[in-house]
Every structure is written in C-alpha cells, then in structure tokens.
Amino acid sequence: MRRALLPLISLLLAGPLALSALAAPGGGNPAAPGRVKKAAVQPAAATVPAPRVVVADIDSGINPYHEAYYAGAGPYAGRSGPSSVTPDVLAEFGIGPAQTIELTRTGNFAADFAADRATWDAIEQGRPYWFKGTNIIAVSFDDTVGKTPILADEGDEHGIGTSSAVLDAHPDAVVLFLEGMADPAAEQLAFTHPAVDIVTTSYGMPGSPPLPFHLTESYGGTVLRGKLHFGASDNSPALSPPDSTSGPWWTIAVAGFHEGSSGGREALSGNVVDVVSDFTQPLPYCSACESGEQSVSGTSFATPRSAGTASAVLLQARRKAGHVGGPVVRSGLGSLMVSGNGTELTPWQVRRALEEAAHVPTLAEYDAESALLEDLSSVPVVDPVASAQTGWGLLSPDPRYGVLAKAAEQLATPTSTKGAQTCAVNTAQHELRFAYWNSVAIGSESFGTTEDPYLPC
C-alpha cells in the first residue's frame, strides 16, 4: 500500500459458531408426486431506476463479514441500511443470482468462513460479485496461489480501511472494490467501466519520485469518460506534482488533516496538493473478525474519505436532476456527470464546486494541546498561507464544515468565494502539473497535448 501508517493495535476475534453457508435459491424438499399445487404467478413489481453513485476503490483485500458494511452498525447505525445496490446497478455490472453472495454471519469468523468455503472457492477472477445486504460489489484481480479471492489477508487489512472510509463519509455510495493494488487490469476496469463515477487510489512509490508514467487509463477515465479520480499523496513531505498516483493534473491530490483532534495539517503528507482530508480515523481494520474498529492513519484513508464526500455531493445533484446511471460520455463535447431536468454538469464543474466548497482551516481552529498529546506531526494552518498548506481546503462530510451544503449551492449557482491568493496559488500548482505531465513525462497519456479542460477560479 505504501501510503498508510501501520495501526498501533490489532482486534480480537469474537462471536459464536456459524449456522449456514450461502443459501441456495428455492430451498426445501420437493413435494410428493401427485400432490404438487400450481402456485399463482405474481407479476414482478416494477422497479423505477434511481440515481446512484459508484466509487471504485482499488486496494488489497476486504472483509465483507464485518458488521460495519451491514444495517445497524458502523455508518448505518441509527439510519437506514445499505440499499444502493438495486437491480439496475446489478444489471450494470452483469451480476446475477450466481454472483450474489449472502455470507454466514454469526460473529465467529473462523466458523463462518468455514461454512462459506465452497462459495469462496467458486469465485472467478475478474468477475464482479455482490455481497447481499451491503453496498459492496467486489472483483478480484489477485491470482496469488492459495489466496482467497477478494478476502483480505491477515496483516494486510488496508482495503478494509479504505472501503470503510468511503462508506463512513457516504453510506449511500456503491463501492466497487477492486482487489489488485497497482494492477493494470484493476485500474483499467475502474477507469473504463461506464458505471463508475469516482475512483480512489491509495498506493504509489514512496517519496513521490518523478516517474514518467501514471495509473493505467486514468487520463482517459477522467478527461474522456467523465470520472473523478482522487489520488493519495505520499506519507512524507514530498512534492506531489510528479507523483504517479496523485500528481497528474486531472487527478485530485489529497494530503492529511486532523479533523477530530488538533485541527491541524499533517506535516508527514505530500505538499502541493488540491485538498486535505481526515488523516486519522476509527475504521474496521481486521481480516478475521466481524466487529470492532481501530485508529488508523495515513493519506490512504484521507483519500477515500474525500472521494466519499464527493460522491455525496454528486448523488445529491443527480437526485435533483433525476440522473440515472453513470457518466454520460459525449464524443467531442465533454462528458457529463449530471444530466436531467435542464441541468448539465461536467466533472470539471463538479470539481470546481468541490474546490469552492472546501473548508479553509484557520489558526484559531488549531488545538495545540491536542497536537502535543495526539498528533505530534500536526502543524497549524496559518491564515495568510493556508492555500499553500491545504490547497483548496478540507473535504469532509462533517456538518460543522458545511462542505456538502456549500457544494450544492455552487452547483446551482457557481460563485468564486475563495480569495485572490487562494486562486493564484492553486492555479499556479495546476499549471506546474499540467506542464510536467504534458511536456516532461514522456510516458504520460497526455504528453504532447495542449487542451486543458480544467476550470480555473
């Protein structure tokens, strides 16, 4: 993963013995000959396609047994459970009954996994599967011998954390989880699948060296196919622009900020970025348990949180417009993320709204005592140079920052709300990245191009 700091604690296994494996459709014993009664056929209830948003998360593995993905726990505690994976969404990904998995979940992971072993053994590489009762669709591109597809390994729980960070920010997002960190096939699916709206990636070379390549199809996915891409900056003070994950000008580069404690910028995360998001979060982070959370830190988790926040903004706009399905690709005209009821919004307009809505931290918000006790690498955001430290600012779903409401206002009536200095600093960093990836990085998909669809302030 290369982007996450190692967690400080591990979780314990819990719960009683499992009861059953994946239920076969139609169960029960056949009726005795001559006593079969023909049931009245009821017409299937008509389903009305609903707006949705799909966030593709490319990572190491996931634990779909964990309660945080299901109704009544985690982000679904005290609210309605996961319901975003509708028949229309399943159709978009070609998922039928054979690719619908209902896991045994009693709280005893070892027993539940054993009960479901045949289901796991039947999973095919590269094929999407939906875990019933969740908003998770998963595909495995990891063909390691002896590895259970999709399921996280002990000691490599990174994907559990990133997928949970998306849903913690926006429980109504559909997460397309792609197991295969840095795998070209996983990246290609994320950036080319017509149902995907947003891609989040939390991996890359430590130190952000100036390499001539970037993620597979990321330029085509964002510039040509209407998606947004959030990339994790390094967990060091390295400059982000040449980074193959977060550096390209079409990518939204994310660094760390301490939302729940000091209110400061994480010094050990990349510089010259677009936005910041929560660096340390309580998240599910265990491969062999079905409950519990632990504190994990890194831009690895700040990035999917910002992607989840963006997905909440996008879904709100789509519901208002009645937009169904993924991005509308229009050859030569620019793709649309939202289309309907007289509204047309490109990904660049959505991005511009997020930039304007991002909360700009101030020195007054910094808690030095908390920094000393909890976040030793946290530094205050100094008002005159806030844009140099945080880019456009903080992307967070927390109501106290008002990002979601401000973004909705910006999409309805675009207005420049950030100061001249913020505009100048972020415009300069975009121009720097544009020049590098178009004129210096000869392995870039954008090398030699001059068209810039980015909307400046």
> pLDDT digit string (tens) for 171-206?
999 999 999 999 999 999 999 999 999 999 999 999
Mean predicted confidence (pLDDT) in 242-256: 97
Place of tokens 């760390």: 256
Nearest 5°: CA angle at 119, between 116 and 120? 90
Q: What is the DSSP letter of 239?
A: B
Cα–Cα distance, 287 to 135 (Å, whole number):
19
> pLDDT digit string (tens) for 220-231?
999 999 999 999
Residue type, 170: H
- Quote the pLDDT of residue 23: 31
Packing angle between helix 299-321 and helix 347-357, nearest 10 degrees? 120
Q: What are phi and psi of 22, to 5 degrees?
A: -55, 125
User: Is residue 432 over pLDDT 70?
Assistant: yes
327 contacts 336 by C-beta, under 8 angstroms: yes
More confident residue, 334 or 448: 448
Q: Which two tokens stand for residue 403?
A: 């990002």
> pLDDT digit string (tens) for 153-173?
999 999 999 999 999 999 999
Mean predicted confidence (pLDDT) in 129-145: 96
Residues near 106 by Cβ (< 8 Å), separated by ≥ 6?
15, 16, 17, 18, 19, 112
Pairing of strands 252-257, 275-278: parallel
SS3 at position 115:
helix
Percentage helix, strand, coil, to 5, in the chain? 30, 15, 55
How many CB atoms sit inside 10 A of residue 104's CB?
20
Cα dist. 41→25, 26, 32, 38, 44 in Å? 17, 15, 21, 9, 9
pTM here is 0.90
Strand (E) positions, 92-216?
Answer: 100-101, 129-131, 136-140, 174-179, 198-201
Packing angle between helix 347-357 and helix 403-412, nearest 10 degrees? 130
User: Is residue 38 over pLDDT 50?
Assistant: no
User: Is residue 3 over pLDDT 50?
Assistant: no
- Quote the pLDDT of residue 331: 80
- Quote the pLDDT of residue 14: 33
- Quote the pLDDT of residue 31: 32
User: Is residue 35 over pLDDT 70?
Assistant: no
Q: Which two tokens stand for residue 299?
A: 């831009």
- Quote the pLDDT of residue 1: 63
Hey, what domains does the chain have and what are their CATH numbers? 49-440 (3.40.50.200)
> pLDDT digit string (tens) for 108-126?
999 999 999 999 999 999 9
Q: What are phi and psi of 338, to 5 degrees?
A: -135, 130
Q: Which two tokens stand for residue 91?
A: 């159709």
What does the mean pLDDT of the chain come to? 90
Cα dist. 143→95, 137, 146, 353 in Å? 21, 18, 9, 40
